[in-house]
Structure 1
């Protein structure tokens, strides 16, 4: 198959590399410094099993793909940008790609598919459970082995079709665990609940993951989703995703932690914790924990703060004071 991976960060770069190694035609669209490094040295993918250098076409703008491929031959665009960059990425894509091209949203959060559906007719959601890291241009790490991660797929908002089955087979052949989920939206809401700890980890450090603040945020989310009548399904991914050190080093932090570390100027918290806040406001359910995590994450981005520089106790106090 021929893929364009739009948003070649950690997840997108590893996915593009594994698809290319499996014999598929892949073009990456990423940040300029990352693209420059890939063009000069190849994409270095480090894993618990060693390192590969993959030569793969990469550009920094969708428009640069025009001389390299015919959009009529593209089987799918895999969208891997953070949710706060989705609207802009889709607008840029729509200037070049036909509205019929399938958009595969391999992203955290539940807002991306709906944004894609405004511009494209065939949209697919993907539940992403892929422990990866992108901390320097040209180099990404995949921490799960032998399976690179889980990428379950389904047509948005629900349903199975021949295309989702085909992509699932391709992903499985590229080293991922992948199933077709008829109710992919429910599974993405389940993943949303577990992703609420991303902000906790980014603010307070990896040791705070799974702690009191994380549990309070998830409990609050379950109450909100129940009140809204939204079903959240939880996929049993832990048996497949086996996180191991790479080069003797453990994964430093998740996607939100990495955004702060790399000083990207943005963070996806508005579409994770902020999604729970939004639904809570629609249904009259207070969300003080997730609202404070959202505010604090955005403040830390605004001042260029380092990940792990906020006290968990201070955040808990702010939640109590804000009630």
Structure 2
């Protein structure tokens, strides 16, 4: 904390989503530090973060950047799921006031809780389409930034600041409900677009039986984890996605880059195994994508 108990917001992982959130917080007048790797930190300190957005406008914000989390900061965690292991020691060392995670998936919360006993930690979700055009330039492509936060995090300083900064922020429900609401849609869409190497519309219609099987298995896994899900509602949500949309998993796999395949597909397989739920469609997709990667 700074003098007067004003929160310092450390955005850990200033990529497309984290960089956009840091830019929005800085623009709203909050004390923000983008925490990243040395090359990223040098670039942000030199050039600031530039966002191009029809919703928020275009501009550059001079966001402070560092390789370490400031002591006592309010942490906004926005890395890829596979990056958690690398950044967690630095978060622990900073003794943060709170941590709100925007990681994709459902399995990251256990390690966060275990590593940060006594510190308020919450898993949230963000729906946005953003692409990092370069280290410091972000194209915000969707006409929205929608953040979902569990009721347990209603009093987090980061939640108040993000609400003030421009995104649509909804607070309510349990952490499991918030995480699974995004996970069901994201995992289904990412796995199918990656498997077919097609944008959303074509991928969902390529093999209706496979799509139906994936939806059925994902809904069953969610329900078994205590978050009841309707197959029909999930199908409707998938059909509402713009037909030309591509997913980050799809792009990462195509580029041979590290991906969230295990955090999405692998996590669902493990949920199925725990609850005795057969997941042959998911296993088929995961096996094919593993073989290609």
- The TM-score normalised by the length of structure 1 is 0.74
Report the alpha carbon displacement of residue 296 of structure 1 after superposing the two structures with TM. Answer: 3.2
* 1:268 match: 260
Q: How does 1:137-286 map to 2 (within 5 A)?
A: 137-145=135-143, 147=144, 149-154=145-150, 159-160=151-152, 163-164=155-156, 166-196=157-187, 197-203=189-195, 204-207=197-200, 208-211=202-205, 212=208, 213-226=210-223, 228-232=224-228, 253-260=246-253, 263=256, 265-286=257-278
* 2:19 match: 13
- Asked if the contact 1:44/1:140 (under 8 Å) is kept, the reply is yes
2:53 is aligned with 1:55: no
Structure 1 residues 77 and 85, CA gap change in structure 2 (3 angstroms): same
Q: Secondary structure at the match of 1:186?
A: helix
Runs (5+) with no aligned partner, structure 1: 245-249, 302-323
Report the alpha carbon displacement of residue 229 of structure 1 after superposing the two structures with TM. Answer: 4.7
Q: 1:112 aligns with which of 108, 124, 137?
A: 108
Report the alpha carbon displacement of residue 254 of structure 1 after superposing the two structures with TM. Answer: 2.6
Q: Aligned equivalents of 1:183 and 1:233: distance in 2?
A: 15
Report the alpha carbon displacement of residue 45 of structure 1 after superposing the two structures with TM. Answer: 0.8
Higher normalized helix content (fraction of residues): 2
Q: Aligned equivalents of 1:276 and 1:209: distance in 2?
A: 20
Q: Aligned equivalents of 2:37 and 2:255: distance in 1?
A: 12
Report the alpha carbon displacement of residue 215 of structure 1 after superposing the two structures with TM. Answer: 4.3
* 1:306 match: none
- Asked if the contact 2:105/2:264 (under 8 Å) is kept, the reply is yes
Give the count of matched residue pairs: 273
* 1:289 match: 281
Q: How does 1:86-97 map to 2 (within 5 A)?
A: 86-94=84-92, 96-97=93-94
* 2:4 match: none
Report the alpha carbon displacement of residue 261 of structure 1 after superposing the two structures with TM. Answer: 5.7
Q: Secondary structure at the match of 1:134?
A: strand
Q: 1:101 aligns with which of 97, 102, 105?
A: 97
Q: How does 1:47-86 map to 2 (within 5 A)?
A: 47-49=53-55, 50-59=57-66, 61-62=67-68, 65=69, 69=70, 71-72=71-72, 74=73, 76-86=74-84
Runs (5+) with no aligned partner, structure 2: 1-6
- Asked if the contact 1:186/1:233 (under 8 Å) is kept, the reply is no
Report the alpha carbon displacement of residue 220 of structure 1 after superposing the two structures with TM. Answer: 1.2
Q: Secondary structure at the match of 1:210?
A: helix
Q: Aligned equivalents of 1:214 and 1:34: distance in 2?
A: 39
Q: 1:45 aligns with which of 38, 42, 51?
A: 51
* 1:26 match: 32
Q: 1:123 aligns with which of 108, 113, 121?
A: 121
Structure 1 residues 216 and 47, CA gap change in structure 2 (3 angstroms): farther
Structure 1 residues 189 and 274, CA gap change in structure 2 (3 angstroms): same
